[in-house]
Amino acid sequence: QVQLVESGGGLVQVGGSLRLSCAASGGRFSFNAMAWYRQAPGKQREFVASMTSDMITNYVDSVRDRFSISRDNAKNTVYLHMNTLKPEDTAIYYCNFGGKTDYSGRYASPSNYWGQGTQVTVSS
């Protein structure tokens, strides 16, 4: 059974930075796409960033120039480096393991494997 544990969230001021981590166990990490999603209060969960097993990355437009996803296959861990944080980045951030990719190898959709989430709060 795949287990995902996120960490690194917290309270940060506008313009600050955070690094989220997601440690995976129980699955073949290096062979699977990893992704980050977030859910703000009263809103649906939205895609933030992904990295396939071939290191192809994708970002939602609102974070493209500020966030960076990386992975360490030796540690079975995926990271989300968040810079220049804005109040609208406030949300619970979730990692996802093993999402689907499309015919071109790009990330397409999440799997049913989710972590418990980590809260990120950006104060103005």
pLDDT (tens digit per residue) in 15-67: 999 999 999 999 999 999 999 999 999 999 999 999 999 999 999 999 999 99
64-70 long-range CB contacts below 8 Å, 24 or more apart? 69/34, 69/36
Place of tokens 């989220």: 20
What is the chain's Cα-based Rg?
A: 14
pLDDT (tens digit per residue) in 80-120: 999 999 999 999 999 999 999 999 999 999 999 999 999 99
